[in-house]
Amino acid sequence: MDSNEVMKFISGGRTDYIFNFLECEDWKERLFDGPVLLLQWLVYYNDTTAIRAILHAGGDLESIDINSELGNAAFFGHWKVCDLLINHGADPNAVIDKTGETPLHNALAKAGRPYFHYVVRLLLEKGAKPNVATIPGIETGAFMRDIRTCGETPLHRAAAYAGPETIKLMLDHGADKTIKDANGDTPLTWASRHLRPGKVLQLLAYGPHWISDKHVEVNISDHGAGWGNTMDWKLVGDYLPEE
């Protein structure tokens, strides 16, 4: 099996073929070949073992931009790859020049995926700054299409998509819940707009805004899904059938 065949398998997700790849005479040169580089596939498929195999065999990470790949790994939710890249020199505060987004922003662009908590935790523990704002009005790839940045911090995105554990972690690491985006909106605004549960709203409440423990108890629906919104119950009223 030549390196072309092996790379086809790896690009399709069979990253265990890395050992076949390392048996090819031209493997070091092939690290630099293709519109998507082999190491980029390994980042995409979250295979730290394959990346370490390349390093152990005498290869390096020179074929990729490790800061860009850290952002990609954060976006995919691959905390182990993030850890490896940071330990090999990637900057947890690397900024996308066009948008001002950081790996923390990338790790907070999806809802309902608890494993992103580990990415956020790792980045914060490695020194990621939680209050960096994006450059307003620039189209971002973090949401795939037709979305523009608005001067939001990672906490704004967390307010929309992350769980309360992640939001509390960010607050404990210095995230400022009073910072406003380019539209004058705080993380509490974002959480309210995205119909987050009372537990999230209470964490982000500030100044004149107050969320009661009763509201936390009753308002348990998230992103509008499921029963638990206080207004839903009030509209239904009590169960009083006619006898």
Show pLDDT as tens, one digit a residue, over the chain (243 residues).
899 999 999 999 999 999 999 999 999 999 999 999 999 999 999 999 999 999 999 999 999 999 999 999 999 999 999 999 999 999 999 999 999 999 999 999 999 888 899 999 999 999 999 999 999 999 999 998 999 999 999 999 999 999 999 999 999 999 999 999 999 999 999 999 999 999 999 999 999 999 999 888 888 889 877 665 666 666 666 766 787
pLDDT score of 205: 97
pLDDT score of 76: 96
Unique residue bearing structure tokens 């939710």: 77
Task: Identify whether residues 25 and 124 lie together within a single domain.
Answer: no
Do 17 and 10 form a contact (C-beta atoms < 8 A)? Answer: yes
Unique residue bearing structure tokens 């907070």: 108
Q: Of 19, 49, 64, which closes a domain?
A: 64
pLDDT score of 136: 98
pLDDT score of 1: 82
Task: Identify whether residues 113 and 161 lie together within a single domain.
Answer: yes
Measured CA distances, 231 to 45, 190, 200, 222, 224 (Å): 43, 19, 17, 14, 11
Q: Give the CATH number, domain containing residue 82.
A: 1.25.40.20
Q: Is residue 31 part of a domain?
A: yes
Tokens of 208: 């004149």
The interaxial angle of helices 164-172 and 154-161, nearest 10 deg, is 160
For residue 5, give its domain range. 1-64
Task: Identify whether residues 104 and 25 lie together within a single domain.
Answer: no
Task: Identify whether residues 75 and 58 lie together within a single domain.
Answer: no
Q: Is residue 182 part of a domain?
A: yes
Task: Report residue 222: phi and psi, to 5°.
Answer: -130, 130
Look up the pTM and report it: 0.90
Measured CA distances, 28 to 8, 38, 39, 100, 146 (Å): 16, 11, 11, 34, 39
Q: Is residue 243 part of a domain?
A: no
Do 41 and 10 form a contact (C-beta atoms < 8 A)? Answer: yes
Q: Is residue 152 part of a domain?
A: yes
Q: Is residue 242 part of a domain?
A: no
What are the residues whose beta carbons fall under 8 Å from the beta carbon of 33, sequence distance 6 or more? 7
Unique residue bearing structure tokens 């390196």: 3
Residue type, 232: D
3 state SS of 148: strand
pLDDT score of 230: 61
Task: Report residue 139: phi and psi, to 5°.
Answer: -65, 135
Domain count, the chain: 2
Task: Identify whether residues 99 and 211 lie together within a single domain.
Answer: yes
Task: Identify whether residues 85 and 180 lie together within a single domain.
Answer: yes
> Cα–Cα distance between 28 and 32 in angstroms, integer?
8
Angle ∠(19,33,107) on CA atoms, nearest 5 = 80
Cβ neighbours around 35 below 10 Å, total: 5
Q: Is residue 241 part of a domain?
A: no
Q: Of 47, 64, 81, which closes a domain?
A: 64
